[in-house]
Amino acid sequence: MVTSKIPHATAKRLPIYYRYLHFLSDAGKQRISSTELADAVKVDSATIRRDFSYFGALGKRGYGYDVDSLLAFFKKTLNQDQLTNVALIGVGNLGHALLNYNFHQSNNVRISAAFDINQDITGTIQSSVPVYDMADMKEQLTVQQIEIVILTVPSSVAQQVTNELVEVGIKGILNFTPLRITVPNTVRVQNVDLTNELQTLIYFLNKFGDEEENL
């Protein structure tokens, strides 16, 4: 189990380590040093050693890390051996794209229900996922034991929909809307603002370009 004592930054790196260890295991590699791992996942080796230290002494000096036991450990920690059902709210352009996205390939996560208010799509199946009316949200989330949702509604209704989600007992929201939603501290929010990410990239590229011109 990932305990609350693990820093957020460490928790975010766990899937990166997991994916690479999976790759190594598939390739038949039995051990890896923190330096090799650092090169591969582009995280410095001191950070890797510190991250791993939160889980107890997993590596041996002069030997490195045993790939399969590390993989088994991360698999358990990340709940990769369990299938996690997730719901998606708002089946617009972005919602559709995410329904099509194969989360299952890298993690045992799947979108098992989607919700919308648009009567043209409620009651249909989109990319193998049933789309329910918002009125059925509470019932479906309870029946399917869903605690995590992906939020892709317009930002004008994001807070109102969030309030409904909090009321039905959702524990985690992956928020794709640009709005910084307010939730009680029992609910965890991860923000993914694609426009913001792109603008940040443009900003850095422009800045870099200017510096080069000034050389």
Residues in the site for ligand ATP, rule: CB under 6 A? 89-95, 115-118, 134, 152-154, 157, 161
Q: Closest CB to ligand ATP among 14 and 94?
A: 94
Minimum CB separation from ligand ATP for residue 84, in Å? Answer: 22
Q: How far is the CB of 98 from ligand ATP (least distance, A)?
A: 9
- Residue (152 or 175) nearer to ligand ATP, CB: 152
Q: How far is the CB of 109 from ligand ATP (least distance, A)?
A: 20
- Least distance CB 19 / ligand ATP (angstroms): 28
Cβ proximity to ligand ATP, 92 vs 169, nearer residue: 92
- 33 C-beta neighbours (distance < 10 Å), count: 15
CB atoms within 10 A of CB 32: 19
- Which residues face 138 on adjacent strands? none
Degrees to nearest 5, angle at CA 163 with 98 and 189: 50
CB-nearer residue toward ligand ATP: 157 or 192: 157
Question: CA-CA distance, 1 to 27, in Å (whole number)?
Answer: 27
CA angle 6, 11, 15 (to 5 degrees): 150
- Nearer CB in complex with ligand ATP: 71/141: 141
By three-state DSSP, how is residue 2 classified?
A: coil
For residue 104, the 8-state DSSP code is G
CB 157 within 8 A of CB 134: no
Q: Report the nearest approach of ligand ATP to the CB of residue 155 (Å).
A: 8
Specify the residue, 35 or 100, whose C-beta has the smaller distance to ligand ATP: 100
Question: Minimal CA–CA distance to 77: which of 51, 59, 101, 43?
Answer: 51
Residue nearest to ligand ATP (CB): 92
Q: Judge contact between 20 and 37, C-beta under 8 A.
A: yes
Q: How far is the CB of 192 from ligand ATP (least distance, A)?
A: 12
Q: What is the DSSP letter of 60?
A: B
